[in-house]
A and B are shown apart, each in its own frame.
Chain A
Amino acid sequence: MSDPVTIIANWLEGLLLGWGLSPLLATIILNAIGILVMAALLLVLDIFLVWVERKVVARFQDRLGPNRLGPYGLIQPIADVIKLLIKEDITPRGADRLVYNLAPILTLATVLLLWAVIPIMPNVVGTDLNVGILYLVAVGAIATLAIIMAGWSSNNKYALLGAFRTVAQMISYEVPMVIALLIPVLLARSMGVSDIVYSQEVWYILVAPAAALIFLISSIAEIGRAPFDLVEAESEIVAGFHIEYTGMKFGLFYAGELLHALTIGALFAALFLGGWSGPGVQAVPVLGVFYLLIKAFFIYWVIMWIKYSLPRIRIDHMLNFNWKFLTPLALVLLLATAIADKALEGSTTVVYILVMLGLNIVLVLGALALARGYASKERQRVGEPKPVARPPQPTVIEQS
């Protein structure tokens, strides 16, 4: 089965080797061309994500959104980019210049790096690492580091508070994410993202819906979007870690966040929704790109839906939710999945799916019942009248 990307790559490789280049150099040049094309396409997509985001939030808030420049306001993001490019770039006094400039670059670069292992269509993937999932976790952690760098180097107290919150929040939420990622690895018996996509005859969202949900929640916390946007809480710490960034540097943080959300969508699609698979994809491999993008944009839309529907969570609630609910649930889920998978060896697919689905639902319902019990107790505790210091009541002297 051949697709345009493979054909072009083979033709270019032949061309480069024909010029008498060494195979190593030819591979490097070929890789560089592929990477630059993919990164450029992603960045162009990123510019239009700004439009998508603004249009969708407008609809959620019963507004029209950008609609002046071009059809449906489609040229608006390009105007924004030009504006950001010609803005003066201000570096605050006392900032740690190297770290300050490196942080926005790292934010966007790590998101681009994530796409190295996401399979785009059958046989077309940046590179099919056999430790793909570990690579994703490792590279994703650099994005968190970039936010800490930005907050620390700005020489601003609000930014520093944002960086502190990053340490408590984003780092904590990586634990349930890593556990949730273990479950598709366990089901596919491989850490390669391509292998996970190929092994999904049945989408893993049917076999492990709870893991998918935990992955989605912890990823939203990882990218620091509402309801987990304490890192840049506008009403508390102004803009958090990027308060001192102007012009294109701010633009890079913004673009990085949007593209990261879409990348999480693509990852979710690859791990739980069958990636590029869909009807007719074996005959026409190019269709895979559209299936992947449709699934990724659907998850991106869900992330936006959550963002614009829920209020921000208080930090102690958020940490409790992570350490006392998500992490234990994910660990128990991992154990249950492992034992059930081993016990169901040799049973038919239908039985397997039904048992797994039932197990997930029972575990999630049980965890929710526990949480509800705790919540009602907590509500009672908070609702009780607190001891208040009152001035001593003056004794009323009865006059007779």
Chain B
Amino acid sequence: MQTEQWLYIGVFLVLAPLLPAAAILIPRLIAPRKPNKIKQDTYECGMETVGETWIQFRVQYYIFALVFLIFDVELVFLYPWAVAFDVLPMFAVLEGVLFVAILIAGLVYAWRKGALEWR
């Protein structure tokens, strides 16, 4: 039963990109192709593009990605706790509450440290 379910996901994973890929490949056959230098220029509102595109970017974006990573990974641990909620005694529920409280403490820490400010 389990294997069959994941087999379905596997088949879906193979087939799902095929339909949009077909939608991209059909224009290859029927659409005109006349590339020239000006047409393939980077479109920046008519201005000629200056300098390199792939530059070093601000660390601010990276910090948000890091905060997200911490929260997302920790929240995933709460899913088994939620699924097993029926058999949990009140004590285990309060332990989950403690775990979330630690998460909130982490959020408050990041907040106070100014990691959540957009500058």
A110 to B19, CA, bound (A): 12
Contacts between the two chains (Cβ within 8 Å), count: 215
Q: Is the interface of B mostly helix, strand, loop or mixed?
A: helix
**Which chain A residues border B90 with CB–CB below 8 Å?**
342
In the complex, how many residues of chain A place their beta carbon closer than 8 angstroms to a beta carbon of chain B?
84
Contact with A191, one of B9, B17, B45, B79 (Cβ below 8 angstroms): B79
Question: Within the complex, what minimum Cβ distance (angstroms) separates B27 from chain A?
Answer: 5
Among B9, B82, B88, point to the contact of A182 (Cβ < 8 A). Answer: B82
In this assembly, does A350 line the interface, its C-beta being within 8 Å of a C-beta of chain B?
no
Given contacts A252-B23, A338-B97, contact A89 B9 (CB under 8 A): no
- Option from A109, A190, A247, A323 in Cβ contact (under 8 Å) with B17: A109
List of B residues within 8 angstroms of A289 by Cβ: none
Q: Mark B67-109, 1 if CB is under 8 A from A, else 0.
A: 1100110011011001111101010010011001101100100
Contacts of A91 in B (CB 8 A): 35, 40
User: Which candidate, A68-76, A327-335, A376-384, is the interface stretch facing chain B?
Assistant: A327-335
> By the criterion CB–CB under 8 Å, are A112 and B19 in contact?
yes
Bound Cα distance A315, B118 (Å): 8
A92 to B64, Cβ gap below 8 A?
Answer: no
Which chain B residues in 32-62 approach chain A with CB under 8 Å?
32-35, 39-45, 49, 53-55, 57-58, 60-62
Number of B residues with CB within 8 Å of any CB on chain A: 71
Whole-angstrom CA separation of A126 from B93 in the bound complex: 33
A interface residues (Cβ-Cβ under 8 A, vs B): 27-28, 31-32, 35-36, 39-40, 43, 84-94, 101, 104-110, 112-113, 116, 126-130, 133-135, 152, 155-158, 160, 164, 167-168, 171-172, 174-175, 178-179, 182, 185-186, 189-191, 238, 243-244, 247-249, 251-252, 315-316, 319-320, 323-324, 327-328, 331-332, 334-335, 338-339, 341-342
